[in-house]
């Protein structure tokens, strides 16, 4: 009998359909229907993708077969991640509809019990990328395993990316990197490292260095994550020049 699993499905509701159903379990796009087994648990996270970020509005899921999870609907009034539902049906299929407050019904995919589960990928040697911002010179470099590369060089799981800042004109504080929405090709995740987190800050113990951060996203292959950076020097906020236009290519 297959080992029970827990699935957290991310449903991204874009301004323009179609919408995608994603799983945080292994960061890969799930098929329709999603195959599960009796005893597995399924949770949901609904996000509305807007040009200025993401929102987690209230939503309701309605299931076509109440015996599949033991409930006919699931209301999440506070938004965010829903309670997990245990699969009770040994062999069956349930269709569910999603109603998002302010948007109405947005999709109706399926979950099917009696599947074979999903294979895990094989490990590979990760590459290490470093983005370095010279504040004084207002320039930046990008390297892969120590060698200069263009931003178009793709990264993938489990590569790591490190962000550093140097400045000859004074101590650096409040170093932060923020990933901005890709308006041309919207990404499912907020950054290559976290489905929801788009801003990463240097710790006080290492104010000029962020990371290394491990690339986890596997659903945005072929898309780019543009980002900007900011620091404080001598109590003055300084932003990365827009002309540098850095991004991480998946």
CATH fold match for the domains 6-113 and 128-249:
yes
Distance of CA 250 to CAs 162, 184, 215, 217, 247, Å?
16, 15, 9, 9, 10
E strand map for 70-127: 73-76, 80-81, 85-86, 92-100, 104-107, 110-113
Q: Which of 236, 227, 109, 211 is nearest to 161 (CA)?
A: 211
Q: What are the structural domain ranges in the chain?
A: 6-113, 128-249
Q: Residue with structure tokens 């049906």?
A: 89
Residue 150: its pLDDT value, please? 96
Residue 2: its pLDDT value, please? 59
pLDDT in tens, the chain (250 residues): 557 788 888 777 765 554 545 544 444 555 556 777 888 888 888 887 776 677 888 999 888 888 888 888 999 999 988 999 888 876 667 777 888 877 766 665 555 544 333 332 334 688 999 999 999 999 999 999 999 999 999 998 889 999 999 998 788 999 999 999 998 888 888 999 988 899 999 999 999 999 999 998 877 889 999 999 999 999 999 999 999 999 999 9
Tokens of 15: 């301004």
Residue 23: its pLDDT value, please? 47
Three-class SS of residue 160? strand
Residue 44: its pLDDT value, please? 87
pTM (whole model) above 0.75 = no
Class of domain 6-113: mainly beta
Residue 99: its pLDDT value, please? 83
> Domain 128-249 is classified in which CATH homologous superfamily?
Cupredoxins -  blue copper proteins (2.60.40.420)
């Amino acid at each position: 009998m297959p080992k029970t699993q827990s699935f957290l499905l991310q449903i991204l509701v874009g301004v323009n359909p179609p919408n995608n159903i994603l799983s945080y379990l292994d960061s890969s796009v799930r098929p329709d229907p999603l195959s599960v087994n009796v005893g597995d648990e399924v949770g949901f996270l609904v996000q509305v993708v807007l040009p200025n970020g993401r929102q987690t509005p209230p939503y309701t899921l309605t299931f076509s077969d109440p015996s599949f999870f033991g409930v006919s609907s699931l209301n999440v009034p506070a938004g965010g991640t829903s309670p997990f539902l245990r699969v009770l049906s040994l062999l069956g299929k349930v269709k569910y509809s999603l109603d998002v407050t302010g948007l109405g019904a947005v999709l109706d995919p399926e979950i099917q019990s009696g599947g074979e589960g999903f294979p895990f990928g094989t490990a590979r040697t990760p590459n290490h990328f470093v983005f370095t911002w010279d504040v004084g010179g207002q320039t930046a470099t990008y390297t892969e395993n120590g060698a200069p590369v263009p931003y178009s060089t793709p990264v993938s799981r489990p590569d790591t990316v490190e962000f550093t800042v140097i400045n000859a004109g004074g101590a650096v504080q409040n170093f932060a990197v923020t990933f901005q929405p890709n308006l041309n090709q919207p990404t499912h995740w907020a950054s290559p490292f976290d489905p929801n987190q788009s801003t990463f800050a240097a710790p006080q113990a290492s104010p000029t260095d962020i990371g290394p951060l491990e690339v986890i996203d596997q659903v945005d292959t072929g898309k780019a994550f543009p980002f900007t950076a900011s620091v404080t020097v001598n109590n003055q906020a300084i932003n990365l020049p827009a002309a540098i236009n850095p991004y991480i290519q998946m």
